[in-house]
Amino acid sequence: MNKETNFLKLLVLSSIQILLGLTHCSPKLQNSTEIRCFERERQALLDMKDEIVDEYGRLSSWGVEDSRRDCCKWRGVHCHARTNHVTRLDLRGPLDDGLSTSTAPLRDLSRNHFQDSSALDVVVSMRGLRYLNLSGNTFHAPIPHLGNLSKLQHLDLNHALRHSKNLDWLSHLHSLETLDLSSVNLSTATNWLQAISKLTYLRELHLSGCELPYILPSALRPSINTTMQLAILDLSRNQLNPSYIRWWSNFSNDIIYIDLSESIVMGPIDDHPFRNMGSLRYLDLSYMKAKSENKLQYLDLSDNYLSGSLPDFSRFSSLTVLKVQVNKLNGTISEGFLKLPRLVWLNLGDNQITGSIPDVSFLTSLKKLYLYNNMFNGTLTQSVGHLSKLESLSLYSNNLEDMITEAHLFNLSRLKVLDLSYNKFLNLKLSPSWEPTFQLQYLALPQCKLGPRFPMWLRTQKKISFLDMSHSNKTDTVPSWFPEVARNLFYLNLSTNQIYGVFPNLSIHSLKIDVSFYLSPCMFSSSMITAIIDLSRNRISGSVTFLCTSTIWNTIDLSNNLLFDRLPNCFSNFKSLRYLNLASNNLSGKISGSFGSLQVLQWLHLRNNSFTGGFPASLRNHTMLEIIDLGENRLTGNIPDWIANSTHVKLVVLRLRKNFFNGSIPLNLCNLPQLQVLDLSSNQFSGAIPKCLQNLTTMTTPPASPPNASFFKTYFGVYIRHGFGVNVMIKKYVDGIHLMLKGNEVEYTSSKVFINYINLSNNSLSGEIPDEITNLTGLVILDLSRNNLSGSIPQNISRLKSLDFLDLSWNQLSGAIPNTISELSFLGVLNLSFNNLSGKIPTDSHFDYSAYIGNALLCERPILNTSCLGDDETHRDSNFNDDGNACTNADLEEDSFITQGFYISTVLGFVIGFWGTLGTIILNMSFRYAFFQMISEVGGYIYLTIVLNKLRLQRYFTRIM
């Protein structure tokens, strides 16, 4: 047996005590300043050194000299800090720099070139072994049976074996989590898949360069165990066949890493191997070759993390489908890389590809071309017009520019889908007399330059079911031929233009469209398709009766137009209506009773019209309502108790601002646990604020992200997945929730959820602010201004940690401002002005004087430029105390020169100076003109000065009375 074998055995025997968890009591130690390790362990290590040839000098620090007697200081030797026993030896091969960080002793014997595997007999006897690394040793003989190592979790035989006839020896390694057999010849191990499939705890498998044998599809029988949660798979440098692909697809929910680089595909891949791998984060297909490249027909690499430039796919000459969408490809497309004459389907969408769209004239079989959501620029190549079989062309969200003319579309007689949207520099310059040879079903042109008029060629399109020309600067009336074009529509978006006049009647009674062309069968069926219309932000006038000729509406948005008249009764026919927005028009009369039939209605926006009457009783039995916005109308009466009955538990927004509602706030509102926006401002409500508002439990949850000063619009997204795999979002704008901040109406927003908002301002509410309101710890905006509230500010105000806006101005609040208000770290707007608050302003307040103005008894020189009263009893106000809010003598002394005589002399000086100046103005015309011009320019400043002086005088008289 050679010296390497002796060394290995000695190494194992000297540490087997530690591996099996056996310990000995430490004898009396020698002088720690001279030596730490035990003599018997030092001698055993020296015996090991004598048995081997140290070619690399790794044991040069081991010796018998006095200066080297402490074996705990030898390279590769680790001793226990307390017992001083040798606990670990690290003797990796020379390819490793520095010391290993292994946590188990004698587990890493890699790269030591042990050629006789009989030396491992001692190793396999260690039944408690959990980690074994023999990589880089290249044993000539087979390794011994490892079945006794039932607790082994990590086994690395990379380059340790030349070959293995089978993998039966893995059968008892039930605890294996990591297995590396890279470069081990497994060409005769036909059972490798069955053996590995029994390792139920396996998470990481490396079989790189193993010459894996071919597996017949019949070998993939259901009995093969696929319960392991494989996360990392390396099959690089092998010859692969579809059987392997079907095997690894069993781990689609867990696998995060796949390496197939430098492999050879033995046959065509018939299906997308990564389709359901939602956890996949790394995929390496570099230098992968197909042995039957000229036979590969379907290649789907979509929804991965592929980066770099688009590779050369031209060698796959038989490809009919190529999908590489939703990756991170960048750079330009080299000429010829897509020369695939049989290609029918090409999808490169959702990448970062730049440059011009290449010549595609050689793709003579192409039917579907998707280059959307990239960074293509320049002029669209006219070679697109040569694709006579093209059915779908999607180029949306790029940087294309210049003009689209008839030359780009002249030969596309089969075209059904045309999407050029969100190319804001793209100009469609098509002749009014042009009559296209195609019949479109899907046309999307938002943010394209179409000209101010409706395109005349559109009148030839009789099969359109999806039409979007929003944001296209239309300044035109709707042409008389448009209803004929619109008869098959399920989606119409003409929003944000300057369309004016009366809209013609739309007769959309049934949707006889080819749904399978648009939608994946697994998501929708034709029975689910309902109509969506968005004409918002135009100048359309007249009545809304043009809607009454159809009954299949799902979403109606006519907001921000010039519509007038009463609502028709035909709404009772809209059984599928979920979203209705008629806000910001001139509609009048009572809210239609036909709304009572809209049982699936979820969002109702009628704000900013002239509706009259009481709260609409037709909404009483609605079970799905989430938003009720009746603000800015002329509605009267009380809020009915049934607003909070069991059928309205889903209500998220109740907005009744700026009407004529009266009475008290009903306690039943506290039974709406989902409520996030409650706006009853600018009405005639009286009585106390209900303490039970603390039951609005959704407002106890902080928003998903810290509040900020940005405001938003809410979008309702209807997602449609085309049969060709493109995600198309039908962006249906639903007007945002309008809130009052700083006296201005804004559209508040959150990209995910509504904020937590309570506005009861500008009413006649009385009593104290209930302390219970501070339990709404997720509240972002609280506005109780312009009421008759009294008492003090709740001391627990600091519990409202998410508060961004607090307005308690124009009430009758008294007492001190709680110092804890400074703990509201997100607070951006504070208004406590025009109350009866007293004492000091919190010292760390970062708000200016406007937040506190109009409180005569407040004092703090840095903010209000006023001193505080002293502690002497003569001038102490009964509202002040000694807890830090009281004013000090030092503050009073600073203003001691301001006496009663000072004010008398000031008044006399003012009278003399005023009449002296006024007399000069009266006698001198030119001076009079210049003076009044100056007054006009600085009038705002003078007004502010007067207000401040008035407040100072008011404080003075308060002091002396």
Better-predicted residue by pLDDT, 709 or 423: 423
Cα distance from N-terminal residue to C-terminal residue, the chain: 113
Identify the residue whose tokens are 């002793």: 105
For residue range 820-850, list pLDDT tens digits in order.
898 888 888 899 999 999 998 887 777 888 8
Better-predicted residue by pLDDT, 952 or 804: 804
Query: DSSP alpha helices (H): ranges in 796-924?
Result: 861-864, 889-894, 900-923
**Sheet arrangement for strand 282-284:** 131-133, 154-156, 178-180, 204-206, 232-234, 257-259, 282-284
192: nearest Cα among 242, 244, 146, 236: 244
Give 311: exposed, middle or buried? Use CB within 10 Å, 0-12, 13-18, 19+. middle
- Describe the crossing of helices 925-937 and 939-960 by its angle, rounded to 10 degrees: 80
Nearest-angstrom CA–CA distance, 332 and 486:
40
**pLDDT at 548 exceeding the cut of 80:** yes
For every residue of 555-581, which 3-state class applies, written as one string?
EEECCCCEEEEECCHHHHHCCCCCEEE
- What is the total residue count of the chain? 961
Structure tokens at 369: 């071309």
578: nearest Cα among 624, 621, 546: 624
731: nearest Cα among 937, 376, 446: 446
**pLDDT at 892 exceeding the cut of 50:** no
Identify the residue whose tokens are 């009014």: 432
| 843-852 contacts, C-beta under 8 A, 24 or more apart | 845/821
pLDDT band at 732 (very low <50, low <70, confident <90, very high): very low
Structure tokens at 857: 């008894």
Nearest-angstrom CA–CA distance, 425 and 401:
5
Of 52-61, 109-118, 342-351, 625-634, which gets the smallest average pLDDT?
Answer: 109-118
Coil, helix or strand at residue 293: helix
- Describe the crossing of helices 925-937 and 900-923 by its angle, rounded to 10 degrees: 130
**pLDDT at 622 exceeding the cut of 70:** yes
How many angstroms separate the Cα of 695 from the Cα of each of 523, 647, 678, 770, 773? 38, 17, 13, 13, 9
- CA 324, 329, 332, 337: dihedral to nearest 10 degrees? -40
235: nearest Cα among 299, 288, 295: 288
Q: To which H or E segment does residue 714 belong?
A: strand 714-721
For residue range 477-516, list pLDDT tens digits in order.
999 999 999 988 888 999 999 999 999 998 876 555 554 4
Residue 42's pLDDT is: 79
Residue 293's pLDDT is: 64
pTM of the model: 0.68
Answer for the pair 335, 358: CB distance below 8 angstroms, yes or no: yes
* Structural domain spans, the chain: 901-960
Coil, helix or strand at residue 309: coil
**pLDDT at 596 exceeding the cut of 60:** yes
| Side chain identity at residue 550, one-letter code | S
Nearest-angstrom CA–CA distance, 381 and 28:
89
Strands (E), 395-526: 399-404, 417-419, 425-428, 442-444, 466-468, 491-493, 500-502
Better-predicted residue by pLDDT, 146 or 166: 166
* Rounded to 5°, angle at Cα 780 from 775 and 785: 90
What's the whole-number average pLDDT of the chain?
76
For residue range 163-214, list pLDDT tens digits in order.
888 888 887 888 899 999 998 888 888 888 888 888 888 889 999 999 888 7
Residue 792's pLDDT is: 96
Of 134-138, 142-146, 645-649, 917-921, which gets the smallest average pLDDT?
Answer: 917-921
Nearest-angstrom CA–CA distance, 675 and 703:
13
What is the average pLDDT across 384-389? 92
For residue range 249-272, list pLDDT tens digits in order.
666 667 888 888 888 776 655 545
pLDDT band at 696 (very low <50, low <70, confident <90, very high): very high
